[in-house]
Amino acid sequence: MRLKLNPKLNLIWPLCIRVGTVVGQSVSASTNASSESPQASSAPSAPPISTIADPASFVLPFIGTTNGGHVFPGATLPHGMIKAGMDTDSPGNHAGYDGDPQFNVTGFSQLHDSGTGGSVPLSNFKIWAFAQCSSFEKCPTSLASRKLLRKVLPNGSPDDFASPGYFSTNLTNGIRVELTATRRTALHRYIFPAGTAHPRLMVDLTNDGQRSSTEPAMTLDPETGKVEGGASFAASFGPGRYKAFTCVTFKGEGYDLGKPTEYGIWQGNFPVQGSTSILQVYYGFVSEMGALFTFPPAPRNARTSILVRVGVSFISSQQACANADEEIPDFGFEKVRTEAQEQWNDVLGRIQVDTHGVDKETVQLFYSSLYRTHISPADYTGENPKWNSTEPYYDSLYCNWDTYRTLYPLMSLHDPVTFSRIVRGMVDIQKHEGWLPECRGATAQHFIQGGSNADPILGEFFVKFHEHAAALGVSTDDLYNALLADAENEPPNWNLQGRQANAWKQFNYIPQDMFAPGGANTKQASRTLEHAFNDFAIAQVAKVLGKTEDAQKYYKRAGNFANIWNPNITVPGAPDVLGMVQPRFANGTFNFTDPRHCSIHDPEMATCFLNAARRDGFYESSPIVYSQYVPHDTAKLMELQGGLEKFVSRLDFIFGQGYFDSTNEPSQQIPFMYHYANRPGLSTQRSRQTIAQFFNASTNGLPGNDDSGAMGSYAAFYLAGLYPLPATRQFLLSSPYFRQISFFNPVFNTTTVIRSKNFNGNPSTGTGGRLFVQSVTVNGQPYKSNCYLDWDVFTSGSVIELTLTDNINVTCGNGANALPPSLSTGGYD
């Protein structure tokens, strides 16, 4: 049954946080809805399932907080702007935190990104507490002087705790810190050691993680301790800057805090008592400054506990104050924490798994991965300083290149309303800036990574939700025009938005030797592949709209990947692996890049990161990996590679020789590509080996940066036994790690269940066992393929039943439509 959305609801969505309950039935896990027998039955039956009441309790926020995962483990709402967390002096503190307790704590700041590279983003407005300064003036306020270690537990891990919407730690100075959050306001609690005579709290206005601040402005109110201020800061992955503002107020817990007994502005290590404005003490450039207060301790030797409410805004400090007053008027820490957890349970609980016969760690891995899918992008609605608009505004698109493959398709399955709001925000950016965002942080444009990869995100939304677009507030015309702008108009600086569109249209590839103005002439081969897929996404939208000519035009351009295929290139030592994508000159001849370039076997050990010194055509992955990167036309790729057997042996070569790169997104589909050779058992095995080898529930359980949830959503799909083809109506199918998994979709008000007959657990190595999909039924009827599912099964709410076998030689089936679609073999319906 389809739900007709009341268009009036759109008007309140920007203000309404719990969108999931506005539309459709809430299958919020916390409501303990009807609970089903864990036994899989063979007859299809009514789907509603809610077996896990509190999925947030399975989330381990510390996964990926050591060894370069850069995951943010602090307090945030789903897609909240506030991400309140601990900052450390770790060199890997892109999200502030590091799970290794050898690193000192430098403060508790309010914004952050999760899993990103670049410079440290958004560690703004740190709060810090002192229990033992000998006097106000002697407080070591500078970051280097104040920092100290966390307590360490007997097992060697830091004494930190985190759950969705909450974070706490015990510092070695005896102060306990707790954090929780609403969308635009953080709430901190500082509990001082017993007997603290002079509890002191400071606000650090300038240390953003990069020491980039300029134009600091701040005042404090000596009567109340209220601090208002802001500064300008550097973006982290682009040339831009942004302004951020804060409004900090204090409240005693269990007692009336009264007036601060001492107050003042500090610069570096020098607090100046009695000063109330930075202007009074600020004579030249000082990188560190803020406010410091001494408060009366709690009476009768009770432990002093002080709440610090930190509103943030990208518009003004007045707005930061208004945000704080509106969202946390009463400083109710437990209430805010509970509401945050409920919001998390609402979104996480829409995907339910049967835990029977499954390790707890697998369930934790699943919900933690799903959790990280919902940290970014961040909902900055009402906080866009660049233009006024009634549309939602989402930021921390960091970057669409990372997230388009798996994050948005996962949102299609269970969080389409948030997805629609993000799409509206992107379309609104295009209307005001001329091109869709590719990478964006802290309201500034960041460097593109190759494609104009909002295109497949908009395509993903429109192909799947076009019938609901208007009800969800998405203008079809605006969306389509935004796609055409990316496809056709060359921007002034294609390092920051859009594409090198003129070269693309003229040559049907991006030539290596064309030094067009407006961008760095790099990654020409990988950009060619990206634009081919981007145009495929546009063609898919045109097709839905019945714009036949446009669809033909963009499908044709989607075939441009073949223009950079050089059939004569081999890998040293593997003469059978013949044919690679390569950089090509404007005159049509090919240049040569070693296929091992930027792999673990690269003789030159290059990385192909954005700032790599050598510029030879590829971004963040080897030519070998990019020679698999044509998600929309694998059949054509198979042909270019010499047919089915060669295709399979090349995949085996990629895994056998370590060319599969778990740390970067262009490899994400490779384990599933055996599907196209009618060998889905091999996909099942490779994808499960990928999880076994590279993903686990430890703090180091990620193979690299989480990339704003790109890796989290990827792992969640693999555990669900699915892999998405963005901007299509198909999902590749394997066996889920759970006897049963269900997806509730609030726009359709339907639940789709995938059940496995013969399920007998998940071998820890990923190999062997009864894992292979032998046959598939949908609502009791045999399905056309064992290798993919059409979107219809999810819109209507279906019971999908898989019969599993231990025979790896399963096939996609015998019917005409058994193999997953490809552009050159009939395309996508």
Ligand X SMILES: *[C@@H]1O[C@H](CO)[C@@H](O)[C@H](O)[C@H]1NC(C)=O
The C-alpha torsion from 791 through 794 and 799 to 802, rounded to 10°, is 40
Closest separation in Å from C-beta 160 to ligand X: 5
Give min distance, CB of 286 to ligand X, in A: 22
- Contact between 408 and 421 under an 8 Å Cβ cutoff? The reply is no
CB closer to ligand X, 174 vs 222: 174
- Shortest distance in whole angstroms from residue 70 CB to ligand X: 13
Q: Tokens 């899918």 appear where?
A: 373
**Structure-block tokens of residue 112:** 């952050």
> Token digits for 804?
């599993």
* Closer residue to ligand X in complex, CB, 730/786: 786
Nearest CB to ligand X, comparing residues 68 and 459: 68
Residue 201 corresponds to which amino acid? L
Q: Shortest approach of ligand X to residue 466 CB, angstroms?
A: 20
Residues 364, 376: Cα–Cα separation, whole Å? 20
What is the number of the residue whose Cβ is closest to ligand X? Answer: 616
Nearer to ligand X, 387 or 609 (CB): 387
Considering beta carbons, is residue 50 or 418 the nearer one to ligand X? Answer: 50
Q: Which stretches does DSSP call E strand in 411-478?
A: 440-441, 444-445
> Least separation, in Å, of the C-beta of 807 and ligand X?
4
| Closer residue to ligand X, CB minimum distance, 534 or 705 | 705
- Minimum distance, C-beta of residue 185 to ligand X, in the bound complex (Å): 21
What is the distance between the alpha carbons of residues 371 and 92, in angstroms, rounded to a whole number?
A: 21
* Residue number with CB closer to ligand X (543 or 679): 679
Q: Shortest approach of ligand X to residue 698 CB, angstroms?
A: 5
Indicate the SS3 state at residue 624: helix
CB of 251: closest distance to ligand X in angstroms? 20
The smaller minimum CB distance to ligand X, of residues 147 and 356, is found at 147
Task: Give 453 or 734: the residue with its C-beta nearer to ligand X.
Answer: 734
275-278, long-range: CB within 8 Å, 24+ apart, which pairs? Answer: 276/219, 276/220, 276/221, 276/222, 277/218, 277/219, 277/220, 278/205, 278/216, 278/217, 278/218, 278/219, 278/229
Using the minimum distance from each CB to ligand X, give the nearer residue, 102 or 767: 102
DSSP codes of every residue in 696-752: -SSTT-SSS--TTTHHHHHHHHHHHTEEE-TTSSEEEE---SSSEEEEEETTTTEEE
| Nearer of residues 568 and 814 to ligand X, judged by Cβ | 568
- Helical (H) or strand (E) element with 202: strand 200-204
312 with 125: CB under 8 angstroms?
Answer: yes
> Residue length, the chain?
829
| Whole-angstrom distance, CA of residue 544 vs CA of residue 139 | 65
Phi, psi of 145 (to 5 degrees): -80, -35
Distance CA 363, CA 59 (A): 9
Taking the CB of residue 327, how many other CB atoms lie within 10 A of it?
19
CB of 819 to ligand X, least distance (A): 19
Quote the least distance from Cβ 640 to ligand X, whole Å: 12
CB of residue 742 to ligand X, shortest distance in Å: 12
Contact residues: ligand X, CB under 6 A: 3, 24-25, 30-32, 53, 89, 102-104, 147-149, 159-161, 168-170, 176, 386-388, 512-513, 566-568, 585, 587, 589-591, 593, 616, 694, 696, 698, 700-703, 749, 807, 809
CB of 456: closest distance to ligand X in angstroms?
Answer: 27
Pair type for strands 740-745 and 750-757: antiparallel
Judged by beta carbon, residue 280 or residue 807, the one nearer ligand X is 807
Q: Distance between CA 214 and CA 231 in Å, rounded?
A: 6
170 or 369: CB nearest ligand X? 170
CA distance 640 to 577: 11
Q: CB nearer to ligand X: give 384 or 400.
A: 384
Q: CB of residue 190 vs ligand X: minimum separation in angstroms? A: 12
Going 508 to 509 to 513 to 517, the CA torsion angle's sign is positive
Minimum Å distance from CB 694 to ligand X?
4
How distant, in Å, are the alpha carbons of 57, 339, 378, 737 from that of 166?
A: 12, 11, 17, 28
Q: How far is the CB of 396 from ligand X (least distance, A)?
A: 20
What CA–CA distance (Å, rounded) separates 163 from 589? 56
Q: Which residues contact 209 (CB under 8 A, 6 or more apart)?
A: 87, 93, 96, 109, 119, 120, 121, 122, 123, 124
C-alpha R_g of the chain: 27
The least CB distance from residue 153 to ligand X, in Å, is 8
Please tell me the distance from the alpha carbon of residue 216 to that of residue 551, in angstroms, as a whole number: 51
Q: Of 36 and 550, which has the nearer Cβ to ligand X?
A: 36
Is-contact 208 122, C-beta < 8 A?
yes
Q: Closest by alpha carbon to 110, among 182, 53, 175? A: 182
- Residue 221 and residue 141: Cα distance in Å, rounded? 19
Q: Which is nearer to ligand X, 275 or 522 (CB)?
A: 522
